[in-house]
Structure 1
């Protein structure tokens, strides 16, 4: 393999290098490397483009949403210099009688970028109506009042990925009574859409001991600053750049004494490491992310466990692994190390027939695209378990974890599992 791992958008469809990108995140194979021939030639488009929406939410509340362009002027951006800026999508409970149009899954400025990305996966640009896809959320609707305030959960995506690719999960969690704030980590992510149609494309990432630590430090800084911004918003001040407004009823609507962190892949790494540095976070959930920055062979860099892996946390943390990824397997030494050092509540769930992107919107979207998707590509991305079950189980386990630790609702799910979701099995 390579000592320096360059991961660029221009090489997005190059399976061997994409394998390294995801190897940095999890023990699972890259979705492209798992099916290298699939990315070579896009499939011929169908007569009419495939149309889809994200699946409806399952909670008792409708969901509102808005975006924030946040600028941290106290922190220099270590990618490009100048003040650090990033984008956030907030999902939250709204009244049952609220009305309004559903928001797009992707910002309009991202549609050409994503269409080109999907072509690298073998999905022809004309085969899918990406611009027409909708989330089950209403733009800017008033926050539903809760006398205690709603608990807050932050979300961080996988390395180089972006918050939109997890909307099915975050919107559903909001429908069960949470304010969920999802980040895109600018300059690391493949692309970030800012107000006015400005798109910032990600940089080529070169893996060294120093650079991988910088990527994680930047994510931790974004996460801690976002919680500061949400705290400001709870006092009635708009925390974003420009002259935006908070949804009606926002002031005092958050319970910042109950804060969780949810992440996929490097986002799970971010969740644990942010909790290590910031005691405002009460519970964390890691979907298939190693708790280390460098991993030793085959990258030929020394194994670099995070501080969370080395010293553990004194608050609850859940690991959910795909395939062989488990604290019982030495393939990823960071999970056994974390398991031994973790002082707070800990559990693990394993999805043996899953893949690294089982927990993303790929699982909700790809089955709806039919023959626009190359044969076998879905299994390479989200595994061989039924995709509808994977979506439902990911949502269910996420809310059960935060219901337990942020709302005090008892459950034996993480000890016994659920007969409704047999693919998600507790690990002793």
Structure 2
């Protein structure tokens, strides 16, 4: 994508932005196995990894969680070279830490915490959305983010085992399979959280869970958001599973195939064809909107006309497809190690700090409104702190 640049300097380090909520954040990893399904990519049992972020007590102790498991550092470096254009070894991918504590007890709260799931973009992995997920947890949510194994470029499992992604070939049948697999992963993940709420351990290795999970979740308040194909996943999972109460789509088409320039017919998902009767937000970048202009995404237009529940759209002016990920804060810190043009390709020309802060603020406002019933006018008028995030009527 971009030409690599050589450097003899020490690897560049980076830090993730601190959380903004009143609660410190804990984290635990779950290895989930659904033995009722055969993995459609490679056969055998269907397995995937989930990171759960959650509120903890102010005096909780434990080690800081890495942004990426050490076993993935070399794989991430190869990914950065091959897909992003970095020179080998110029970034210390393993050194960054999340603002989250491993193994700390879930902080108790009357009635339990609301739950939100997160799904990443097609072939991507949950790690590059950590700043959004951890920040939402700091405002009083239990957030479970997934990596969809074998579709994703890579995933790390307990013991350092790494599952590589397979070569994806787009057909009408294959793209539907990718989405169906993600939906099943998400529904099983919510089942696993329900098991934890009953005091059971869904982890495949039965690794000890932090204390406090029995009765710690309010599963009558469940949200789902995602980026790109993860937003597609959120909408379609809500269509099929009534346990999900509110959803958000970061720049994801609501179709498995979308016509030109693909050599495939337009294939809207059911959520676009029939709408949802629950709240849903579209957050677009680079002109991606429900407003019907030439060349626009048909699925957003169709969803908007069919949506029966509360709906809003936000447009991130000057933003790009990966403005909603960890790329803006990470890439903006890498100086001369950064391939020319990469930050703008990922984030557009919006200030990276605004991409992070605005994304966090609107995610929190949406779930606060619909899961905690806290009134907000965030979706009715622009906020002066985030001038590039514009409500679209």
Counterpart position of 2:389: 424
> SS in structure 2 opposite 1:113?
helix
Flag structure 2 segments of 5+ consecutive residues without an equivalent.
none
Is the CA contact 1:187–1:202 (under 8 Å) kept in the aligned structure 2? Answer: yes
Counterpart position of 1:278: 241
Residue by residue over 1:253-310, the C-alpha shift from the partner in whole angstroms, topping out at 9 and shown as x without a partner, is 0000000001000000000000000000000000000000001111111100000000
**Aligned partner of 1:170 among 130, 133, 139:** 133
- 1:251 CA displacement: 0.9
Counterpart position of 1:250: 213
Task: Give the Cα–Cα distance (whole angstroms) in 1 for the partners of residues 143 and 226 of structure 2.
Answer: 12
**Aligned partner of 2:10 among 31, 44, 48:** 48
Flag structure 1 segments of 5+ consecutive residues without an equivalent.
1-31, 33-37
Residue 77 (str. 1) matches residue 39 (str. 2): yes
**Aligned partner of 1:384 among 349, 357, 368:** 349
- 1:45 CA displacement: 2.2
Task: Give the Cα–Cα distance (whole angstroms) in 1 for the partners of residues 340 and 353 of structure 2.
Answer: 18
Residue by residue over 1:117-156, the C-alpha shift from the partner in whole angstroms, topping out at 9 and shown as x without a partner, is 1112222232111111110000010111101100000000
Counterpart position of 1:196: 159
- 1:222 CA displacement: 0.3
**Aligned partner of 2:275 among 296, 309, 312:** 312
Residue 94 (str. 1) matches residue 86 (str. 2): no
Task: Give the Cα–Cα distance (whole angstroms) in 2 for the partners of residues 125 and 81 of structure 1.
Answer: 33
**Aligned partner of 1:62 among 11, 24, 29:** 24
Aligned residues: 390
**Aligned partner of 2:380 among 399, 411, 415:** 415
Residue by residue over 1:355-408, the C-alpha shift from the partner in whole angstroms, topping out at 9 and shown as x without a partner, is 000000001100111111022220111110100111000000000000000000
**Aligned partner of 2:310 among 314, 322, 345:** 345
Task: Give the Cα–Cα distance (whole angstroms) in 2 for the partners of residues 417 and 219 of structure 1.
Answer: 33
Task: Give the Cα–Cα distance (whole angstroms) in 1 for the partners of residues 249 and 379 of structure 2.
Answer: 14
Task: Give the Cα–Cα distance (whole angstroms) in 2 for the partners of residues 359 and 53 of structure 1.
Answer: 17
Which structure 1 residue ranges, 4+ long, deviate > 3 Å from structure 2?
A: none
| TM-score, normalisation: structure 1 | 0.90
- 1:47 CA displacement: 1.9
- 1:352 CA displacement: 1.9
The 5-angstrom pairing of residues 330-409 of structure 1 reads: 330=293, 331-409=296-374
Residue 114 (str. 1) matches residue 79 (str. 2): no
Task: Give the Cα–Cα distance (whole angstroms) in 2 for the partners of residues 327 and 392 of structure 1.
Answer: 24
Task: Give the Cα–Cα distance (whole angstroms) in 2 for the partners of residues 132 and 83 of structure 1.
Answer: 32
Counterpart position of 2:199: 236
